[in-house]
Structure 1
Amino acid sequence: MTSRLAQVAPRRPTGRYVYESDSDDDIAVYGQGNAAAAAAAAAAAIAVASLEYSSDEESDLDSPPAGAARTLALANAIDPWDEWDQQCRQQAWRAASRNTVPRATSVQPKHDDVNELESMLSRFQLQQREAEARDKAEFEQRNAKLWDGIEKAIREAEKRAAHEAEQLAAARKRQEQAEAEAKRAREAEQARIAAEQRAAAEKRAKEEEQAKERLAAEAEAKRTAGMRGGDAIWPPAKAEYDEWTREMTRIKQDILPKIRENPDMRKRAFAAKRAITPKIGQLTNSASEITRITDAIDQVLREARNEGEIMYTWALNHLAKCLIRQAEQEVAAKQDTAFPLARVALGLVLLGHDIGTVLMARLVKKCPWVLGYVPPRDGLAEDAYRRKLGFKTSDETSQLYASRMSGICALYFAVLQSSISETVRTIKTSETPETLAGRVPESLRPSRMWTWQVRSMTPPHTQQPLVPALWCTFAEVAGPASLTRYGKQAAKLWRLLLGGVREHKLGPSGGPEHDAVHAALVKLQLVLEAWEQGSLDAHTTGGRYMDS
């Protein structure tokens, strides 16, 4: 019973006394809503106190408790503890008297109170279980609602995911279809372009073939016209002259100024000039010397080519100037020196250098006679026209002019008659002579010997004062090679030339240059008659073969 009472009211101090506050204190402790509980707790406390103070035999409540005499006796001593104890007893008594009914004379009322407390406890427990049940039901309801929401969200998410997957699959399918269509269109376009390209290539190849055939026909016509002579040979000659004049103008306007205006390039050009110039002056007809100088100049040109087109073209132009200067000065005095110069020039051509183009442009500029052609005056003043013909100064004598032109032509004729198989001996290469021959420009090939002879026997060129002297130079330098190459055709041409000399059809019939022309004609007649008698070698220039 004590344990059940403890569930209702707070535990009180054990011992003889029960301390209790008045009803107001109980109300303050238990609250306004629990006043009944406070009253019950107070009643229980009174019942316990009554049981503790009762004896084995029932006694009347009006009689003082058994310890009262002892309390009164101690009161006389005015003990503070007893005074405080007495006050506590009185307070407990008053509180019990206010909140309880008079104590019964039997134990039955106590049992009723306990039953009431148990009933109250049962009600409290029932209320608690009901509250817990309500809370549980509410929790389960909220939980079920929450899970319903979660499941609904999951279903909606799954639905959205499925919808998005369907849309993605549809988009992917559309993309695949679009890509397939684009691929088919692209393949069709590529096939169309390829077909057009094939058609264009076939058309271009056909046009190129036709152009080649046309050019070949024109070249053949020019060749046959050149072989026949006549007026048909002069338009090609003029075209060649204009072509080389344009090339020389390009070099003068596009190359030389850039070297002059750039100090660094001018310095490198000067170094190349110092490397080239002395070597041309040291040249002899020795095979080893030609090989050495060709190799040295090849190295200089390779270095210049690595520095760019401008420097390379400048170096080629300077080399051509050196060769022509040597021809004007040394070859004019000693004709056999033309052969080693020609071998160096041809060797550099075979090594892949563009010296042939630049050399030909400078040859035509300095001596248009190498083409077997005299450019027209075209309204030029006398001094300007003389410069166009190759005169150095306005007061240069005809004799000095003829000597220089003969030297330059001797260099050109020496290049034309040079054997490629022999020149290969002076260069370092592993390629065959047949392959190397393709690098020689048309203007430096042996076929040009025939072109020059035909033009120089066709009027009005035959009436030029310089032609007899140039014919002598050709016969002495390139005559044997021309006769060997063209055989009966060359012999027929030379017999025709000899007849013209004998009949005084070559050269002008008079004029201030009559003596020089007459001397050249006499010399030419001696050479041609020696050839006719089979003793041309006595009149040809030595040096056609290299010294070992």
Structure 2
Amino acid sequence: MRFSAPRSISPSPTRATKRRTLKQRRRSSTFGLQSDSDDSDYDSDRSYASELSDSPSVGSSSSSSSGSFMYKSELEVQTQPRPSAARNSLSSSERRYVDETISAIRLRIRHHDSYEEWEKDTRRDAFLSARKEQTQIQRQLTEEQERLRLRQAQHIAELHARQADEVARKLRDLQLHQQSEERRLKEVWDSRAKQQWQRIEGVIKQEEDKLKAKLEAERKVREEEEKRRKEADLKQRLLEEKKRQEEEAKKQEEEESKRKQEEERKQREEEEQRLLKEQQEKDERTKAERDQRQALGVSTALEDWRQARQALHQLKTGATRPVKADKAVKSAWSALRRQITPKIGQLTNDDQIINRIASQIFGLLMPNPSLPQQVYYSALSSLSKAILLQAETEVTAEKRAAIPLARVTRHLLSVLPSFHFIFLAKLVQRVGSWSIPIVIPPVDFDGKTWSDNASRLKAMGYRTSGGDAFESNSDHGIRISGIMRVFFQILAIPVSQTDKPLPPSFQLPRFWIWFARMMSEPSLLVSAVAPQVLFVALDVLGAEAKALWGIQWVKILGLLYEGVTLGLGNGKLIGGDSPEGKAARVRVQLEVERLMSGR
């Protein structure tokens, strides 16, 4: 696109000079046409003529529509009348030159050049494009200004809204503050009014109290006088009535004393005869049972308990205390104990691990050369304690943990000399008489009475739970159940032909003895621990006992079921009335039903 500045309307001196030079160069034979060397001036003139034709100030409507071009001076010359005198004064050659020049100019003006037309159209299109672009830019600018105006208006509206909200909030705050101040002033006013009325009412009440006190004092004086008079009358009547009753009571007491003496004499005679008869029957029965037990090698529950207590006493006095007193021996015993305890804690229900741990413990307690007797017995005591403590913690949480613990214990009972005596003694120490079972007698094995209730509770298996306080009945029952499950699992382990025989206290017939003794002790059955231990026994050996003893075992189960449902002979249920006893009694009932149904 090419733009040029409009030319001046008046011809410049340069152009005039150039025209004069061109006129001088033209020949008459060319008819006033310019040569090829004049193309630049021709183009310049056409460019200028095009600009003038686009300008509204140059030319008339007729000239712009026809495409012709003339200078204003030429138009003036053309429109002016030619003076014929001046023309007549020219020579023929000059007139011919003028005519040729005018013809050449007219021919040049009327000539249509395609390039000029294209250039003109190009300029017009460029102008239109520029105007269109300018219009678009102007419209975009207007739209942007409108958007800016709208954003500003929106911002101003939002600002006004926020300011209005702020003003409203401040007004609300002021209103709330005013209301709060009004409430505070009202409360102060009400408080002052209330205090004033309280003072007024207090003064009135004081006066009323004074009057009431005066009237009450007068009334009390009258009542006191009346009371003294009535008391004097009543005292006189009571003395007379008492005297009469004493006489009647004395007479009745003499008669009752005579009757009681006669009844007591009769009861003493009957009791003496009954006791004599029972003593004779008991002596005969005891003699027969003693002969049978001696023949069968079976001891009574009391003898088993005394034997366990005695073994525990001998273990403390003859082994543990001397070992603790000697530092060298104590260090050897402590080393064995530190090796035994972790091995018991590593037990799992795996044959290889059980055999390995049993062999390692056997190697520790039966080395070559053998341990001193006191150290050996103390180590057996530590082994028993570790097994029982493991039963208290692990078996209480998971009953299947009793199986590997019982298998290791059963193996050690068969291979370690004297281990069954010490293990049974420690068992009685931890669970009391529940492993026998028997009611704790009023005296110890040596015939001495218990020094206090705490020593008797320890003999019953209660442990202290921090300080001097004993464990609760619930914790006691759970702990006893865990240890007794291990004991019953030892009895339940089948004996193979290659195994060494166990002592009678840990053989399967011991389960029948234990159950028979338990069912014959009503004092034990009413305890909350009894149904818990009975459930453990049935859970471990109930089905095997039914298969082994048949109808006899069913009779015992029937007796047990009657005790947990209907009650014992004295009308009390097994387990007593405690929550722990009731829950365990239900478990025993369900277990008996399961065994009888064969599920």
Instruction: Calculate the TM-score normalised by the size of structure 1.
Output: 0.51
Q: Using a 3 Å threshold, how does the CA distance of structure 1 residues 247 and 518 change in structure 2: closer, same or farther?
A: same
Alpha-carbon distance between aligned partners in 1 of 2:396 and 2:442, rounded to the nearest angstrom: 27
Q: Using a 3 Å threshold, how does the CA distance of structure 1 residues 318 and 333 change in structure 2: closer, same or farther?
A: same
Aligned to 1:397: 472
Alpha-carbon distance between aligned partners in 2 of 1:319 and 1:326, rounded to the nearest angstrom: 11
Deviation at 1:355, TM superposition (A): 1.8
Q: Using a 3 Å threshold, how does the CA distance of structure 1 residues 508 and 377 change in structure 2: closer, same or farther?
A: farther
Letter in 2 for 1:532: M
Alpha-carbon distance between aligned partners in 2 of 1:295 and 1:309, rounded to the nearest angstrom: 20
Aligned to 1:169: none
Determine whether 1:470 maps to 2:533: yes
Aligned to 2:436: 371
Deviation at 1:308, TM superposition (A): 1.8
Letter in 2 for 1:487: G
Q: Using a 3 Å threshold, how does the CA distance of structure 1 residues 246 and 304 change in structure 2: closer, same or farther?
A: farther
Deviation at 1:463, TM superposition (A): 2.5
Deviation at 1:277, TM superposition (A): 0.5
Q: Using a 3 Å threshold, how does the CA distance of structure 1 residues 522 and 305 change in structure 2: closer, same or farther?
A: farther
Superposed, 1:22-61 pairs within 5 Å as: none
- SS where residue 369 of structure 1 aligns? coil
Q: Deviations over 1:422-452 (max 9, x none)?
A: xxxxxxxxxx536x11xx1111111110011
Letter in 2 for 1:399: S
**Is the Cα–Cα contact under 8 Å of residues 345 and 355 in structure 1 kept in the other structure?**
no
Deviation at 1:339, TM superposition (A): 1.5
State, as a whole percentage, how many aligned pairs show the same letter: 27
2:557 to 472, 491, 494: 494
1:388 to 443, 452, 459: 459
**Is the Cα–Cα contact under 8 Å of residues 527 and 581 in structure 2 kept in the other structure?**
no
Deviation at 1:520, TM superposition (A): 0.7
Letter in 2 for 1:530: R
Determine whether 1:279 maps to 2:279: no
Aligned to 2:387: 323
**Is the Cα–Cα contact under 8 Å of residues 349 and 403 in structure 2 kept in the other structure?**
yes
Aligned to 2:425: 361
Determine whether 1:447 maps to 2:509: yes
Deviation at 1:462, TM superposition (A): 2.4
Letter in 2 for 1:480: A
**Is the Cα–Cα contact under 8 Å of residues 256 and 314 in structure 1 kept in the other structure?**
yes
Q: Using a 3 Å threshold, how does the CA distance of structure 1 residues 259 and 221 change in structure 2: closer, same or farther?
A: closer
Aligned to 1:417: 492
- SS where residue 349 of structure 1 aligns? helix
Deviation at 1:218, TM superposition (A): 2.5
Deviation at 1:510, TM superposition (A): 10
Q: How many residues align?
A: 299
Aligned to 2:359: 295
Q: Using a 3 Å threshold, how does the CA distance of structure 1 residues 383 and 326 change in structure 2: closer, same or farther?
A: same
Letter in 1 for 2:453: E
Letter in 2 for 1:505: L
Alpha-carbon distance between aligned partners in 1 of 2:371 and 2:297, rounded to the nearest angstrom: 40
Greater shift, 325-334 or 444-453, is seen at 325-334
**Is the Cα–Cα contact under 8 Å of residues 364 and 370 in structure 1 kept in the other structure?**
yes
Q: Deviations over 1:320-352 (max 9, x none)?
A: 000111111111221121121111111112224
**Is the Cα–Cα contact under 8 Å of residues 527 and 575 in structure 2 kept in the other structure?**
no
**Is the Cα–Cα contact under 8 Å of residues 526 and 575 in structure 2 kept in the other structure?**
no
Aligned to 1:516: 580
Q: Deviations over 1:442-488 (max 9, x none)?
A: 11111110011111111323223321111101011222332233222
- SS where residue 384 of structure 2 aligns? helix
Q: Deviations over 1:1-32 (max 9, x none)?
A: xxxxxxxxxxxxxxxxxxxxxxxxxxxxxxxx
Determine whether 1:531 maps to 2:595: yes
Alpha-carbon distance between aligned partners in 1 of 2:369 and 2:528, rounded to the nearest angstrom: 42
**Is the Cα–Cα contact under 8 Å of residues 327 and 411 in structure 1 kept in the other structure?**
yes
**Is the Cα–Cα contact under 8 Å of residues 283 and 341 in structure 1 kept in the other structure?**
yes
**Is the Cα–Cα contact under 8 Å of residues 429 and 461 in structure 2 kept in the other structure?**
yes
- Greater RCO (CA < 8 Å, at least 6 residues apart): 1
**Is the Cα–Cα contact under 8 Å of residues 530 and 575 in structure 2 kept in the other structure?**
no
Alpha-carbon distance between aligned partners in 2 of 1:248 and 1:365, rounded to the nearest angstrom: 8
Q: Deviations over 1:21-56 (max 9, x none)?
A: xxxxxxxxxxxxxxxxxxxxxxxxxxxxxxxxxxxx
Alpha-carbon distance between aligned partners in 1 of 2:470 and 2:563, rounded to the nearest angstrom: 32
Unaligned stretches of 5+ residues in structure 1: 1-212, 224-234, 422-431, 536-548
Alpha-carbon distance between aligned partners in 2 of 1:449 and 1:217, rounded to the nearest angstrom: 19
Superposed, 1:299-318 pairs within 5 Å as: 299-303=363-367, 306-318=370-382
Q: Using a 3 Å threshold, how does the CA distance of structure 1 residues 407 and 392 change in structure 2: closer, same or farther?
A: same
Letter in 2 for 1:330: E
**Is the Cα–Cα contact under 8 Å of residues 304 and 315 in structure 1 kept in the other structure?**
no
Q: Using a 3 Å threshold, how does the CA distance of structure 1 residues 494 and 214 change in structure 2: closer, same or farther?
A: closer
Alpha-carbon distance between aligned partners in 1 of 2:574 and 2:334, rounded to the nearest angstrom: 48
**Is the Cα–Cα contact under 8 Å of residues 398 and 513 in structure 1 kept in the other structure?**
no
Aligned to 2:410: 346
Q: Using a 3 Å threshold, how does the CA distance of structure 1 residues 244 and 510 change in structure 2: closer, same or farther?
A: closer
Determine whether 1:406 maps to 2:470: no
Superposed, 1:161-240 pairs within 5 Å as: 217-219=292-294, 236-240=300-304
Deviation at 1:215, TM superposition (A): 7.5
Q: List structure 1 segments (4+ residues) > 6 angstroms apart after TM superposition.
A: 213-216
Alpha-carbon distance between aligned partners in 1 of 2:368 and 2:461, rounded to the nearest angstrom: 29
Alpha-carbon distance between aligned partners in 2 of 1:343 and 1:217, rounded to the nearest angstrom: 33
Alpha-carbon distance between aligned partners in 1 of 2:463 and 2:293, rounded to the nearest angstrom: 37
Alpha-carbon distance between aligned partners in 1 of 2:572 and 2:359, rounded to the nearest angstrom: 46
2:312 to 248, 258, 265: 248
Determine whether 1:433 maps to 2:491: no
Alpha-carbon distance between aligned partners in 1 of 2:366 and 2:291, rounded to the nearest angstrom: 35
Superposed, 1:71-220 pairs within 5 Å as: 217-219=292-294
Letter in 2 for 1:452: W
Letter in 2 for 1:382: N
Aligned to 1:456: 518
**Is the Cα–Cα contact under 8 Å of residues 414 and 477 in structure 1 kept in the other structure?**
yes
Q: Deviations over 1:327-383 (max 9, x none)?
A: 111112211211211111111122243321110011011112011212124454322
Greater shift, 499-508 or 272-281, is seen at 499-508
